């Protein structure tokens, strides 16, 4: 059986050694999920919501422990880990409070005496999740999906296996029946086999475009629904009238939080020329002030990247862009998994840092002649997760909402997820939505009921 280790990217120490689940173990987990399926689906929604409230309470109780685990496994700065766990608790509270309404029958007026849409659970849903937000990515799937009456199997990224197992235990400790939420230590081949199994009713994946194509391809072949949340190459558009003093910190956070390893981070800064110099000065000063260091320290804002190979890959994208004419204003220094916050200017549309997603602390800055050019540059991407625009001219900003072909458009704030709002992308960023009403309705049978009395 295949063994693997998890490694602390900051200290480079081995955290733990695991053995992948065998086919037999995976099948037995699926059987457990199927055994609980109908009783879980029939449980009163109030009871499922109560269990979710327990999860929220446990998350808050254990936030230090879970934040430290994320720091250890993928180098997340500890304070940002605490915020992540608090956000997970918020999502659980949101669904515990609202799931009943969100899942209520939707009455539709027709020629029937009564007609409505009911929302039945689908069954066992497979989730394939990434390492960058080890708890949040899972909870934002699991909270609505389980509360809708489904069961779940989680295949988490290998480097955060400890987090994956901690989440499984969290649901058990909160009182969920065994089999309701289980964690798998499975390789790609086993996952492909699992998707083909009749017991799996749908798949959700947050991850790379390559993984999305592969998982969704298998799901499609077996006529199973998939939800994909893939990469992003979000533009942060700065019009000439933006209030830099008010928003520069937000713009820096939008790029640098989680050491830049976020699908919705601001990656391409597209700045109108009339404000360009002032923007660059303030942006650079703020980035310089960010504290890099040991992710275990509460004051650290920039930790290490989750793995050394990821930092190497990022540096390659930067160096290729430099060859094409990008200028380094700050950073581009690497030491193991540490990659220093980097600012590149003179970025053009043919450079890797403009075309590709950069999953680390690199801000790629492009100057635009005017507002129109800035919008056109922002929309020039294969990816479509979100864009943000900073301006004092809210009317003009509202007028261009439909010119932004992304899943989200934020004016005077960074693109961020919120349990009350749908989250997801267009184009190569994937399809389907997480969170909010849209998220809880992704994995239900929207059943048409038509009654003549």
Q: Which residues bind ligand LJUCG4UG (CB under 6 A)?
A: 132-133, 136, 262-264, 416-417
Residues 6+ apart with CB under 8 A from 267: 232, 233, 234, 235, 255, 353, 357, 358, 362, 363, 364
Q: How far apart are CA 352 and CA 357, in angstroms?
A: 8
Is the Cβ of residue 136 or residue 338 nearer to ligand LJUCG4UG in the bound state?
136
Is the Cβ of residue 132 or residue 387 nearer to ligand LJUCG4UG in the bound state?
132
64 is catalytic: no
What's the min distance (Å) between Cβ of 418 and ligand LJUCG4UG? 9
Write out the E strands in 207-336.
Answer: 225-229, 234-238, 266-272, 327-330, 334-335
Residues facing residue 327 across a β-bridge: 345
What's the min distance (Å) between Cβ of 22 and ligand LJUCG4UG? 31
What's the min distance (Å) between Cβ of 132 and ligand LJUCG4UG? 5
Active-site residue, from 37, 73, 190, 229: 229
**DSSP notation for 68-97:** HHHHHHH---HHHHHHHHHHHHHHHHHHHH
Is the Cβ of residue 367 or residue 416 nearer to ligand LJUCG4UG in the bound state?
416
What's the min distance (Å) between Cβ of 143 and ligand LJUCG4UG? 13
Q: How far apart are CA 277 and CA 15, in angstroms?
A: 45
Write out the E strands in 277-424.
Answer: 327-330, 334-335, 338-339, 342-345, 362-368, 383-384, 387-390, 409-411
- Report the SS3 class of residue 393: coil
What's the min distance (Å) between Cβ of 263 and ligand LJUCG4UG? 3
Token pair of 334 as six digits: 């690497």
Is the Cβ of residue 133 or residue 409 nearer to ligand LJUCG4UG in the bound state?
133
Is the Cβ of residue 71 or residue 345 nearer to ligand LJUCG4UG in the bound state?
71
Which residue numbers are catalytic? 229
């Amino acid at each position: 059986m295949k063994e693997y280790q998890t490694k602390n990217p900051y200290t480079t120490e081995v955290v733990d050694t695991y053995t992948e689940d065998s086919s037999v173990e995976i099948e037995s987990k699926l059987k457990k999920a199927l055994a609980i399926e109908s009783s879980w689906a029939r449980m009163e929604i109030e009871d499922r919501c109560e269990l979710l409230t327990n999860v929220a309470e446990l998350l808050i109780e254990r936030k230090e422990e879970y934040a430290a685990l994320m720091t250890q496994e993928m180098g997340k700065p500890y304070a940002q880990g605490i915020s992540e766990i608090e956000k997970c608790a918020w999502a659980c509270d949101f669904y515990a409070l609202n799931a009943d309404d969100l899942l209520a029958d939707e009455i539709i007026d027709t020629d029937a005496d009564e007609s409505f849409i009911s929302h039945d659970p689908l069954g066992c849903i497979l989730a394939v999740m990434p390492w960058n937000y080890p708890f949040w990515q899972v909870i934002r799937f699991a909270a609505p999906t389980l509360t809708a009456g489904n069961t779940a199997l989680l295949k988490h990224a290998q480097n955060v296996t400890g987090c994956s197992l901690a989440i499984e235990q969290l649901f058990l400790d909160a009182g969920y029946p065994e089999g309701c939420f289980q964690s798998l230590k499975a390789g790609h081949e086993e996952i492909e086999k699992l998707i083909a199994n009749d017991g799996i009713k749908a798949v959700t994946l947050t991850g790379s475009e390559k993984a999305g194509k592969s998982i969704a391809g298998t799901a499609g072949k077996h006529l199973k629904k998939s939800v994909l949340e893939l990469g992003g190459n979000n533009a942060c558009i700065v019009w000439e009238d933006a209030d830099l003093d008010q928003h520069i910190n937000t713009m820096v956070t939008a790029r640098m939080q989680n050491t830049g390893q976020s699908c919705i981070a601001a990656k391409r800064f597209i700045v109108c020329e009339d404000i360009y110099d002032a923007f660059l000065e303030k942006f650079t000063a703020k980035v310089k002030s960010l504290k890099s260091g040991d992710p275990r320290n509460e004051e650290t804002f920039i930790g290490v990247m989750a793995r050394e190979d990821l930092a190497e890959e990022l540096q390659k994208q930067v160096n290729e862009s430099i060859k094409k004419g990008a200028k380094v204003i700050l950073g581009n220094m690497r030491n193991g998994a540490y990659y220093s916050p980097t600012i590149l200017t003179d970025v053009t549309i043919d450079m890797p840092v403009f075309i590709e997603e950069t999953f680390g602390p690199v801000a790629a800055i492009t100057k635009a002649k005017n507002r129109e050019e800035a919008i056109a540059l922002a929309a020039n991407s294969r990816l479509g997760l979100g864009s943000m625009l900073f301006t004092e001219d809210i009317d003009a900003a509202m007028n261009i909402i439909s010119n932004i072909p992304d899943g989200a458009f934020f004016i005077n704030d960074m693109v961020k997820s919120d349990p009350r709002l749908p989250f997801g992308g267009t184009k190569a960023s994937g399809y389907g939505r997480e969170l909010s009403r849209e998220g809880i309705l992704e994995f239900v049978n929207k059943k048409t009921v038509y009654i003549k009395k």
